[in-house]
Amino acid sequence: MTKRYAVVLAAGQGKRMKSKLYKVLHPVAGKPMVEHVLNQLNEVELEKTVTVVGFGAEKVTEHVGNDSEFVLQEEQLGTGHAVMQAEDLLKDKEGTTIVVAGDTPLITTETYRELFARHEEAGASATLLTAKTDSPDGYGRVIRNEQGEVERVVEHKDANEGERLVTEINTATYCFDNKKLFEALQNVSNQNAQGEYYLPDVIGILRKQGEKIAAYVTPDFDETMGINDRVALAEANKVMKKRINEQHLRNGAAILDPDHTYIDAGVVIEPDAVIHPGTVLKGDTVIKADAEIGPNSEITNCHIGEGTVVKQSVAADSHIGDRVKIGPFAHIRPASNIGSDAKIGNFVEIKKTDLGDSSKVSHLSYIGDAQVGSNVNVGCGTITVNYDGKNKHLTTIEDDAFIGCNSNLIAPVTIGKGSYVAAGSTINKDVPEDALSIARARQSNKEGYASKLKDRNN
Active site (catalytic) residues: 363
Strand partners, 317: none
Interacting residue with ligand UD1 among 4, 6, 7, 9 (CB under 6 A): 9
For position 103 contacting Ca ion by CB under 5 A, the verdict is yes
Q: Among residues 51 and 395, whose Cβ is nearest to ligand UD1?
A: 51
Under 8 Å between Cβ of 51 and 60 = yes
- The 224-243 site mask, x for binding ligand UD1 (CB under 6 A), equals --x-x---------------
Q: Which of residues 277-336 bind Ca ion (CB under 5 A)?
A: none
CB atoms inside a 10 Å sphere around CB 444? 5
Tell me the residue type at 145.
Answer: N
Under 8 Å between Cβ of 289 and 303 = no
> Binding residues for ligand UD1, how many (CB under 6 A)?
32
For position 153 contacting ligand UD1 by CB under 6 A, the verdict is yes
Helix (H) or strand (E) run with residue 344 in it: strand 343-346
For position 281 contacting ligand UD1 by CB under 6 A, the verdict is no
Phi, psi of 439 (to 5 degrees): -135, 75
Interacting residue with Ca ion among 30, 105, 226, 345 (CB under 5 A): 226
Under 8 Å between Cβ of 96 and 3 = yes
Interacting residue with ligand UD1 among 5, 182, 198, 366 (CB under 6 A): 198
Distance CA 216, CA 129 (A): 5
Give 322-342 as a DSSP string.
TT-EE-SS-EE-SS-EEPTT-
Interacting residue with ligand UD1 among 77, 274, 335, 422 (CB under 6 A): 77
For position 168 contacting Ca ion by CB under 5 A, the verdict is no
Under 8 Å between Cβ of 281 and 263 = yes
Distance CA 353, CA 450 (A): 46
Interacting residue with ligand UD1 among 101, 128, 184, 427 (CB under 6 A): 101
Q: Among residues 95 and 226, whose Cβ is nearest to Ca ion?
A: 226
**Residues found in the chain:** 458
For position 159 contacting ligand UD1 by CB under 6 A, the verdict is no
Which residues here bind Ca ion, judged by CB under 5 A?
Answer: 103, 226, 228
Which residues here bind ligand UD1, judged by CB under 6 A?
Answer: 9-12, 23-24, 52, 54, 73, 76-79, 81-82, 101-104, 139-140, 153, 155, 169-172, 198-200, 226, 228
